[in-house]
């Protein structure tokens, strides 16, 4: 493949990926030195390589399992690097349609609430009453058209590139760990009868991991910092937003994301999934502490 893309953008202060000209990047292939974005970079013994150099180095168009191309976090490079993101968006949209069809009774059964009466003189319901599934199910519920539209657009814009950089399994682990951390902090801090719902906790986790990844790849941090500040202003300045879920997800995303992209190669999986397990352990402790307080 020629280097026309490189020559076209020589005048730019920040180079762009040779396969995706709309994406700026500060990372170059260690063999051919062409600029590559997270979706194109393949982890090599030293630095990252582009897909063409990986195939050329293997001697064939298909690498054996032992030398299969890997993402920056060690995940397997796949034909559709956004598949999990598409599935998550599909699940969220499908559940929202169920919410619209079944009404508030469905939402009240699965949203996140610590302890409350949903009907006068009815039984107490909530996580404190043993309905721990609400910590997970609330991540796939939304409160209206604007809510789900904003979250799904954010999931596509942030989640897609991050999935390509991490790989499917690591990306999915990050998504659920962040979402559950957001639910746990909401359960711990929010008033017991205050319901909350939405994918925002998980999405803020992806946002935090994206910031860590951009730092790791020496990208310009100003856009992501500006976006973070805007989101935090909205989180704390807009009424009716469960800021606890946003902060919990963001913190979990930063911690887990750091482990994903900085783990040493020889112990990569152990550190990455061990960090996920550690964050989940903290989630369990927070849930148990809050349950003990309420009961």
Residue 196 to residue 135: CA distance in whole angstroms: 10
> Within 64-197, where are the H helices?
83-102, 104-110, 134-137, 145-154, 160-166, 168-189
Indicate the DSSP class of residue 287.
H
Residue 42 to residue 40: CA distance in whole angstroms: 6
Q: Give which of 50, 145, 165, 24 is closest to 96, Cα–Cα.
A: 145
**93 neighbors 152 (Cβ within 8 angstroms):** yes
Annotated catalytic residue within 196, 246, 262, 269: 246
Which phi and psi (to 5°) does residue 135 adopt? -60, -30
DSSP string, 94-132: HHHHHHHHH-HHHHHHHSB-SSEESSTT--EESGGGT-T
Please confirm, yes or no, whether 154 is among the known catalytic residues: no
Annotated catalytic residue within 43, 178, 196, 200: 200
Please confirm, yes or no, whether 43 is among the known catalytic residues: no
Residue 10, number of CB atoms within 10 A of its CB: 8
Active site amino acids: 200, 246
């Amino acid at each position: 493949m020629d280097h026309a893309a490189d020559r076209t953008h020589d005048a730019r202060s920040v180079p762009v990926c040779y396969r995706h000209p709309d994406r700026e990047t500060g990372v170059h292939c260690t063999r051919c030195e062409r600029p590559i974005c997270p979706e194109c970079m393949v982890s090599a013994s030293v630095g990252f390589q582009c897909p063409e150099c990986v195939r050329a180095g293997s001697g064939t168009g298909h690498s054996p399992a032992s030398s299969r191309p890997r993402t920056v976090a060690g995940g397997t490079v796949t034909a559709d690097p956004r598949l999990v993101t598409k599935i998550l968006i599909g699940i969220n949209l499908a559940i929202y349609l169920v919410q619209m069809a079944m009404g508030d009774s469905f939402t009240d059964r699965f949203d996140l609430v610590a302890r409350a009466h949903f009907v006068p003189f009815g039984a107490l319901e909530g996580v404190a009453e043993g309905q721990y599934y609400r910590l997970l199910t609330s991540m796939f519920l939304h409160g209206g058209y604007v809510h789900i539209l904003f979250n799904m657009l954010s999931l596509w814009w942030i989640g897609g590139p991050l999935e390509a950089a991490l790989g499917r399994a690591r990306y999915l682990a990050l998504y659920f760990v962040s979402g559950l951390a957001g639910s746990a902090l909401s359960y711990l801090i929010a008033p017991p009868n205050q319901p909350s719902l939405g994918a925002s906790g998980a999405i803020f986790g992806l946002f935090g991991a994206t910031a860590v990844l951009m730092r790791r790849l020496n990208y310009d941090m100003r856009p992501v910092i500006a976006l973070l500040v805007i989101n935090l202003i909205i989180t704390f300045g807009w009424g009716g937003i469960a800021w606890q879920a946003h902060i919990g997800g963001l913190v979990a995303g930063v911690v887990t994301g750091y482990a994903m992209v900085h783990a040493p190669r020889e112990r990569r999986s152990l550190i990455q999934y061990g960090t996920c397990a550690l964050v989940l352990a903290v989630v369990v402790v927070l849930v148990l502490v809050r349950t003990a307080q309420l009961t």
